[in-house]
């Protein structure tokens, strides 16, 4: 199983970043340039990527206390997919964004990893990169 782990520093305050990330209706804006549309039907969101790929994701858990959302891709090319995104407060009133994605088959890493990196860059643009 392949695991992709990314941790990035954001300039945003945790209580500003979390509601934005938590609300799936915001994701096309938060991840602009990577996602072009997100629709929500109960606990299933359908995300359309800029490259034309469409993925259905089941929201497995939303943990407001830990500012974490877990989701799993449904169908498509994955044999298995589970991911989580979390906002972690730092000691300076800002936060870290942690994204972990675990999936099979391993061969999808060459397609998924660039999307994760582009998503992290988009999130920094949306929620703020640290100054300096």
Q: For residue 117, is it within any domain?
A: yes
Q: Could you give the CA distance from residue 75 to residue 73 in angstroms, rounded to a whole number?
A: 7
Q: Could you give the number of structural domains in the chain?
A: 1
132 three-class SS: coil
- Identify whether 93 is part of a domain: yes
Mean pLDDT of 16-23: 92
Write the pLDDT tens digit of every residue in 58-111: 999 999 999 999 999 998 889 999 999 999 999 898 999 999 999 999 999 999
Residue (of 105, 101, 99, 100) closest to 76 by Cα position: 105
* pLDDT (0 to 100) of residue 67: 97
In a domain, 14, yes or no: yes
CATH code of the domain covering residue 99: 3.30.530.20
Could you list the residue range(s) of the whole structural domain that residue 111 is in? 2-23+60-127
pTM check: above 0.75:
yes
**Residue 53, in any domain of the structure:** no
């Amino acid at each position: 199983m392949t695991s992709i782990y990314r941790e990035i520093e954001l300039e945003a305050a945790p209580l500003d970043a979390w509601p934005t990330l938590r609300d799936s209706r915001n994701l096309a804006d938060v991840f602009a340039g990577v996602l072009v549309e997100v629709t929500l039907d109960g606990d299933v969101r359908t995300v359309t990527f800029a490259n034309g790929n469409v993925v259905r994701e089941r929201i497995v858990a939303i943990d407001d206390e830990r500012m974490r959302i877990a989701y799993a891709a449904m169908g498509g090319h994955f044999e298995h997919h589970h991911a989580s995104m979390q906002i972690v407060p730092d000691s300076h009133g800002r936060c870290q964004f942690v994204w972990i994605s675990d999936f099979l088959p391993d061969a999808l890493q060459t397609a998924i990893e660039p999307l994760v990196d582009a998503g992290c860059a988009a999130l920094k643009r949306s929620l703020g990169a640290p100054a300096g």
